[in-house]
Amino acid sequence: MNKPCLSANDIQERLQNAGVQPTLQRLAICKFVLNEADHPTADDVKEWADVNLGKISQATVYNTLNTLVDAGILKEFKFPHSGKVVYDCNTHDHFHFVDESTGKIYDIDPADVKIDIAIPKKFKVKDIKLVLKGEIK
């Protein structure tokens, strides 16, 4: 995964442009998810925050992540293999590959996938979710 590595300023700007007050918690969580984390769950974020931010409440973690999702800064995904929501700093349309042994998630560029669907034309497809599962050699 190739993280863009945004500066604190970049992040503050993004939050403000999205109309989100750049509080300490939001800046920190946003920085973590955008620069360091790889498809973290709320729990992952909470654990990181406990270590790196001092105690923060679970509710704030959820609220913050939801705020960032609403602001379009993050995307959330649910995968079949886990009950937990996963946050993705890649907000572009894309697909996923799940390593079945580790659970690690890899983004797949839709340009690398060609999908031809021959279903009756009354089905108007507006959104495609593709999740590949397998192993990595």
Which residues are at the interface with a copy of itself (CB under 8 A)?
77-78, 80, 97, 100, 106, 108, 112-119, 122-137
Beta carbon nearer to DNA, 35 or 66:
66
Q: Identify the residue among 20, 30, 37, 98 touching DNA (CB under 7 A).
A: 20
Instruction: Taking the CA atoms of 75, 32, 62 and 64 in sequence, report the sign of the dihedral they define.
Output: negative
The region of 19-27, 32-40, 92-100, 103-111 touching DNA under the rule CB under 7 A is 19-27
**Cα–Cα dist 102/94, whole Å:** 21
Residue at token pair 């992952």:
44
52 is a site residue for DNA (CB under 7 A): no
- Nearest residue to 62 (alpha-carbon basis) of 37, 90, 25, 22: 25
**Residues 15, 71: contact at Cβ < 8 Å?**
yes
Task: Closer to a copy of itself by CB, 55 or 114: give it.
Answer: 114
Which of 6, 10, 35, 66 binds DNA (CB under 7 A)? It is 66
CA 124 to mean position of chain CA atoms: 27
Residues at the contact surface with DNA, assessed by CB under 7 A = 20-26, 41-43, 55-60, 62-64, 66-67, 83-85
